[in-house]
Structure 1
Amino acid sequence: MTGQPEINQRDLRNRSKEIMDAVQDGQSFTVVRDGHQIAELIPLRRRRRFVSRDQFVAMSRNAPTMDLAAFRADQDAAVDTEMSSPYDR
């Protein structure tokens, strides 16, 4: 058993607004057809858009240290630094 409510195909069709509202609120469902589980209806993960300064500092503590000079050298090696006109052929 999946631990989430089972709904049949008819319920999904007839109560779609109610079911979709529940999914939007975080509820998951298992869809059943002819007594067989055929799908899971689960909410999408919401991406966080904002990270507070304190959260960023806490996450950054475990980040590996970076050699700034080596990073700049890698950037310079990867980028064409000569100016050229896009219209030259």
Structure 2
Amino acid sequence: MKTISQRELAARSKAVLDDVEAGETYHITRNGTEIAEVRPLGARRRFVPVEELQRKWQHAPRIDAERMRAEADEFFGSEDRVGESDNPWERA
């Protein structure tokens, strides 16, 4: 993976896209902050290691289930909510 600035991408777009076509991945920065990734379409991963997911989930926001339910009820209304007793996915 290579990191280049937005300005460098604009100046060398043909060379960068040739590298991408050959399998290279670029991270594009603007004012020193990474804003994009340019990679070959065929290089899309189908498997993400558990360790990587755990690292990413450590920085995910915490979810307050009760608050989320209250917000959903306020927005959608609670009259038509499926309760535990009438779960459509429950096997008979």
Q: TM-score range by the shorter chain?
A: 0.3 to 0.5
TM-score, length-scaled by structure 1: 0.46
For the pair shown, the structure with the greater C-alpha radius of gyration is 1
TM-score, length-scaled by structure 2: 0.45
Higher relative helix content: 2
